[in-house]
Structure 1
Amino acid sequence: MSALAARNTRALTVCLTITVLIAVLAILGMTVGAVTLSIAQVLDGIGGGKNAFIVMQYRAPRVAVSILAGASFGLAGVFLQGALRNPLASPDVVGITKCAGLGAFLAGMLTPPAWAIWSIPSGVVLGAVIGAGLLLVIGRAFGGGIAALALVGVALGMLAQALMQYVMVIFPTRADQSMVWLAGSVYGSSAADVLILSLWLIACLPLILIAASRLDAGGFGDDTLISLGMSPGVLRGGLIVVSVLLCAGAVASVGSMGFLGLLAPHAARLMVGPRARHLVPASALMGALALSAADLAGRLVALPNEIPAGIVAAVIGGPYLIFLLIKETGRHE
């Protein structure tokens, strides 16, 4: 067997294994709730049995949103890392998630509660787009280099976080609900949420395929890209735009989930290698697996209460980011 065939076989095996694990977590996730169900009862409910209402109306949408949003974060992370040529980049690290969260936070705080069903998603998209626009414009003003984009993104994230804290001081009585959402949670997901997020991802699919086909080129230096007849700014800007769109859809559905966009591509890269044809699907699957696992863990740890999945992801992702920073520092010494 050739080396290429071996890599393809390995990637296919990894992706199939992750898919099976996602299916297992999905079934387990539908057993947990106010009424504990056995796996047999869940399967019976999926088939239209007596527990069909609980399973299909409440628990299945939650599981489906976890999978779709996790895949979105994983894809957003891999495209952003490719754009910045930095394995430590992710939507939350460079501020895109924070800007999207700020947009949602302001929309939730400054509009009537009855408008939340459309104002918060609109705020998320607007915040993410404005954040990405500022990232590109300010980064270009500092030369447009990879280091400039990364540093500007970190600064924008800190500014967005500071603005959220300021608004909480101004409107303390309306901060509680927004804070729960900003922690990141799939609680209360409905069939409508599944439909909206699915349609968003379908609309983004052509851009995802184009970005995936250009991702390997993003690893080249600017001089190499120019010699190949490609514009570094257009290539990296396009990857960032796709990342922003995916991140905005996920944040609108489940709130601000930290570190998923960092963890999923890293884990996928370790298992299938850096080639885009293997890395992109593996990153999406790893993101789906990670968010599904974080949600299930958050529901089991503090029964009968639950911990938002975003907090579970941050507890795992924070130390992992420190580990990666130490690893990268040691590599360059």
Structure 2
Amino acid sequence: MNVPTLPTGPVVRTERVSVRVRPRAVTATLALIAAAVVLGALAMTLGDYQLSVGEVIGALTGSGSQAQQYVVLGLRAPRVVLALVVGAALGVAGAVFQSLARNNLASPDLLGFTTGAASGALVAIVLAGGGPAGTTLGAVVGTLVTALAVQALLGGVVGGYRLVLVGIGVNAVLAALNNLLILRTDLQTAVAAQSWLVGTLNARGWPEVVAVSVALVLLVPIAAAGSRRLDLLGMGDDVARGLGVAVEGTRVATLLVGVALVGVATAAVGPIAFVALAAPQLARRITGTTGPGMLAAGLMGAVLLLAGDVLGQRLAAPTQFPAGTMTAAIGGLYLVWLLAREWRAGR
């Protein structure tokens, strides 16, 4: 009987690397991209100076009339792109904070981070007469100080309804501070600050688009790279450490990313309510995933803010409602539904 000869040299093992693709998540992501494109095209055709899709394309390619190019490239295109990038920044920031706190109510709106960004920006506007750069810096610093204050009041315990309650208290104090800052300044500055506080895309242009886009390019890859570690943190600190996750370093890095995104977005258009709260949750529902889902959350945030801005412009035309007012109205209804659902579930 012939006995097969076994190899005597070193055995080389090859591992197959497989990438798990969820068809539902891919379909939902493509649907969100399509919704953003359709809403963007709709937003650039509607208005007092109505245009067809062909005329919009002509203006974008430089073949339209001078008036069409001014309306599209000078007014509508930057507004649409700014809504998309700011909404994406808020969506990713919301996913970061909810994953860190392991609480669906841990949104920058409720935790006071958005109000803290507004406080920092108002200090720059009212006390220092800051321009765009100063306002952006003030908003980022205000968000960071608020995050540190919330963390200090929590005593190192992150998660649960305690975080939400502390955040609501900090939010109330900062809202009072913002009102005091407006009351203590001159009328012209107060009117400008108050109009900024409602959260609007009016009178915004390409400089704001560039600032938020740069922040997205720099910060979203960091958030996406840490999404897997955030997912492991959801299993508990001990389990995450056992799997090789640097728990404290991950928390600090992702917290700073979320803080910077909220600060830059708020500096560009003012406080925008409830996008950061609703976008990650809606994204998880339509994709069927349980993790942070940064890409889907960013896309959902972009769609929500652009839809809110389009509704604000056309719902009672020619009267226009600020985008922040529309997202607050829609988000308020969503928050009531979410709280009722959590209460019925006994959480």
TM-score scaled to structure 2, two decimals? 0.88
The residue aligned with 1:331 is 345
Q: Which has the larger radius of gyration?
A: 2
Equivalent residues of 1:132, 1:241 under 8 A apart = no
Q: SS at 1:144's partner residue? A: coil
Q: Does 1:144 align with 2:157?
A: yes
Runs of 4+, deviation exceeding 6 Å: 4-7
Match of 2:83 among 66, 79, 85: 66
Is 1:78 paired with 2:91? Answer: no
Q: 1:203-247, CA deviations, whole angstroms, 9 ceiling, x for partnerless residues?
A: 213422322232211311233234434354333333322211111
- Given the alignment of the two structures, is residue 153 of structure 1 paired with residue 159 of structure 2, yes or no? no
For the 8 Å contact 2:106–2:163, the answer to whether it is kept is: no
Out of 239, 252, 257, which is 1:224 matched to?
239
Question: Contact conserved, 2:182 with 2:194, CA < 8 A, in 1?
Answer: no
Choose 117-126 or 84-93, whichever is displaced more: 117-126
Residue 24 (str. 1) matches residue 34 (str. 2): no
> Which residue pairs with 2:14 in the alignment?
none
Corresponding position: 1:314 with 2:328:
yes
Say which of 238, 242, 252 aligns to 2:253. 238
Q: Write the letter of the residue equivalent to 2:75.
A: Y
Select 2:133's aligned residue among 102, 118, 138. Answer: 118
Report if aligned partners of 2:92, 2:220 keep a CA contact under 8 Å in 1. no
Say if 1:297 and 1:45 are closer, same or farther in 2 by CA, change over 3 A.
same
Match of 2:117 in 1: 100
CA contact (8 A) 2:229 2:245 kept: no
> Partner letter of residue 37 of structure 2?
A
How many residue pairs are counted as aligned between the two chains?
325
Deviates more, 1:25-34 or 1:154-163: 25-34
Relative to structure 1, the CA distance from residue 242 to residue 6 in structure 2 (aligned partners, 3 Å threshold; closer, same or farther) is closer
- Inter-partner Cα distance in structure 1 for 2:75 and 2:263: 24
Give the root-mean-square deviation of aligned CA atoms: 2.0
Alignment partner, residue 5 of structure 2: none
Give the superposition deviation at 1:107: 1.5
C-alpha distance in structure 2 between counterparts of 1:293 and 1:313, whole Å: 9
2:302 is matched with which residue?
288
Secondary structure (helix, strand or coil) at the match of 1:332 reads coil
Q: Is the 8 A contact 1:31 1:42 kept in 2?
A: yes
Give how far 1:288 is off.
0.5
The amino acid of 1:17's aligned partner reads A
Q: Higher mean Cα deviation, 223-232 or 117-126?
A: 223-232
How many Å apart are 1:14 and its aligned residue?
A: 0.8
Q: CA deviation at 1:282?
A: 1.0
For 1:25 and 1:196, the matched residues in 2 are separated by 23
5+ unaligned residues in a row in structure 2: which ranges? Answer: 1-17
Partner amino acid for 2:57?
L
8 A contact 2:140–2:264 mirrored in 1: yes
Match for 1:37 among 51, 76, 83? 51
Distance 1:287 1:158 in 2: 25
Cα distance in 1, alignment partners of residues 23 and 244 from structure 2: 33
SS at match of 2:111: coil
Q: Distance in 2 between matches of 1:153 and 1:231?
A: 26
Superposed displacement of residue 15, structure 1: 0.8
Q: CA deviation at 1:151?
A: 2.9
2:80–2:306 CA contact under 8 A, matched in 1: yes
- Is the contact between residue 103 and residue 124 of structure 1 (CA under 8 Å) also seen in structure 2? yes
Q: Corresponding residue for 1:255? A: 270
Give the distance between the partners of 1:233 and 1:299, measured in 2 at CA. Answer: 44
Amino acid paired to 2:26: L
Identity %: 33
Aligned with 1:304: secondary structure?
coil
Letter in 2 for 1:144: V
Deviation per residue, 1:165-221 (Å, 9 max, x gap): 222232361322111111111112212221221112112134223222322113112
Query: Given residue 86 of structure 1, which amino acid in structure 2 is its aligned partner?
Result: N
Which residue of 1 is the match for residue 107 of structure 2?
90
Q: CA deviation at 1:287?
A: 0.4
Does the CA-based 8 Å contact 1:83-1:235 persist in structure 2?
no
Q: Give unpaired runs (5+ residues) of structure 1.
A: none
Task: Give the residue type in structure 2 aligned to 1:53.
Answer: Y
Kindly indicate whether the alpha-carbon contact (under 8 Å) linking 2:92 and 2:258 is maintained by their aligned counterparts in 1.
yes
Distance 1:327 1:272 in 2: 20
Letter in 1 for 2:175: Q
- Taking the aligned partners of 2:337 and 2:251, their CA distance within structure 1 comes to 27
SS at match of 1:89: coil
Structure with the bigger percentage of helix = 1
